[in-house]
Chains A and B, each alone.
Chain A
């Protein structure tokens, strides 16, 4: 699944995912716009509306029974209640391969003990 969240909540999301035992994830900084009010900034005589806001994008691959706990963890970590909290997109994955061992699908996203 893919989640777009506020950068200032990224650490809370990481913490919540850790508590939910979700281990495999990637995160990246992105810029985007999801309907929140524009921020106005002024530099000398130049006034600008910041259309794009800094966001953090999480990519998490989990097996089916982990989907709901993961959604809940991200929502708990990312929610402030104001416009701009972000989105969670749940997508089907066709195939997963663990590069090191060649394991596929569910085995590939199960953490090694």
Chain B
């Protein structure tokens, strides 16, 4: 039997069944993160916007996947252009069940694994515009954004583009996922504008249980996100998997301490946020730093994000669910941390400043500046152009009524009282 399996693997041409099995699992784990994100976000909004908020993430599963198959994958992973890839893999031309060049897994599996990253990244931005943006224009935005912002950035750092050529280390998406979504959210909040009641009324999370369960499921999925980014099932997978436990745990501890110091109460919404911030920070670093490094990064990452989340609601910037604080700042912290604390003795890949490679930090910093500026600028332009063709926001009346009813004609918590069946005319 073993001989038979070995023969099959050889016939498939360099495909390793162990690696493939782990990548299949990882891909499914990452795909689950998008509905988990929907649940997390849905808990953080008012009850009348529950379904709409969740649907913004569910929508990404549809439109972004289709865009990825049509041309997104090709832009990200076809060829070695310095800014964008080519179009040879459009409609998945030339991508089959055979081995992906340079890897030991089927090419088609690689496409799906990378698709799952693009999906959740586009969905993340919804946190900036919940409770007021129209559903249709948001779907259009996510589609365009995945092709214009995500795919080029993924190419630049993972697909052989200029950041990769300069040795920038980004394990699982500090550049195209975390910083890109955070700073795009910043721009989106500015273009779409604040909720009408922002700054006048308390806009409170309606279900902390959703937020905690959503964050927990995101953390669970993140083991595939970071662990799978090894693209094999060996030591890189084990290191990044372990660090995905350690860093968010440290952030959670730091967050609880900060909460206790500031208000004498450890909050549940704070704990949910801390899990996300820690997982974000370790994302670019997971396979490059030591386990103790991951603990340190987790503790460190709590500080800028916590400070920003306390300060931001006092401003006019209604970046409603703090994507910039959690993903933008968490991503910056993680990418720069790699520049200091990457440890070749653990990863076998590269060292940071304190282990003797001073050149790395500079390029990590350049990646931060360029990614943040590009994501912010491109998102700003995409939404401004979209606004020329259609209204981005619902009417003030619909905003008051809630987007569940106005955008979807459904309610999350319907009782059925007073609901009269409409009989369809029988033909």
Stretch at the interface among B159-167, B283-291, B417-425: B417-425
B282 to chain A, nearest CB (A): 40
How many pairs, one residue from A and one from B, have CB atoms within 8 Å of each other in the complex? 49
**Residue pair A11, B201 in contact (C-beta under 8 Å):** yes
B106 to chain A, nearest CB (A): 37
**Residue pair B400, A9 in contact (C-beta under 8 Å):** yes
- Which residues of the partner chain A approach B201 to less than 8 Å between Cβ atoms? 11
The listed residue (A9, A33, A40, A46) touching B418 by CB distance below 8 A is A33
- Which residues of the partner chain A approach B414 to less than 8 Å between Cβ atoms? 41, 43
B148 interface hit (Cβ, 8 Å): no
A27 interface hit (Cβ, 8 Å): no
Scan B383-427; emit 1 where CB is below 8 A from any A CB, else 0: 000000000000001001110010001110010011111101000
- Which residues of the partner chain A approach B420 to less than 8 Å between Cβ atoms? 38, 48-51
Give the total of A residues in contact with B, Cβ under 8 Å: 22
**Residue pair A41, B397 in contact (C-beta under 8 Å):** no
A21 interface hit (Cβ, 8 Å): no
**Residue pair B401, A8 in contact (C-beta under 8 Å):** yes
**Residue pair A8, B422 in contact (C-beta under 8 Å):** no
Give the complex CA separation of A60 and B38 in angstroms. 40
Give the complex CA separation of A29 and B140 in angstroms. 37
**Residue pair B419, A49 in contact (C-beta under 8 Å):** yes
The listed residue (B400, B417, B422) touching A47 by CB distance below 8 A is B422
- Which residues of the partner chain A approach B417 to less than 8 Å between Cβ atoms? 31, 52
A101 interface hit (Cβ, 8 Å): no
The listed residue (A8, A31, A41) touching B409 by CB distance below 8 A is A41
**Residue pair B418, A50 in contact (C-beta under 8 Å):** yes
**Residue pair A42, B419 in contact (C-beta under 8 Å):** no
**Residue pair A48, B397 in contact (C-beta under 8 Å):** no
Residue in chain B with minimal CB distance to A45 = B424
Chain A 7-63 interface residues, beta-carbon cutoff 8 Å to B:
8-9, 11, 31, 33, 38-43, 46-53
- Which residues of the partner chain A approach B197 to less than 8 Å between Cβ atoms? 11
Give the complex CA separation of A9 and B396 in angstroms. 12
Footprint of B on A, CB under 8 Å? 6, 8-9, 11, 31, 33, 38-43, 46-53, 80, 82
Footprint of A on B, CB under 8 Å? 48, 197, 201, 397, 400-402, 405, 409-411, 414, 417-422, 424
20 contacts between A and B (CB under 8 A): A8-B400, A8-B401, A11-B197, A31-B417, A38-B420, A39-B405, A39-B409, A41-B410, A41-B411, A42-B410, A43-B410, A46-B421, A47-B424, A48-B422, A49-B422, A50-B418, A51-B419, A51-B420, A52-B417, A53-B418
6 further A-B contacts with Cβ under 8 Å, apart from A41-B419, A49-B419, A50-B419, are A9-B400, A38-B420, A43-B410, A43-B414, A47-B422, A49-B420
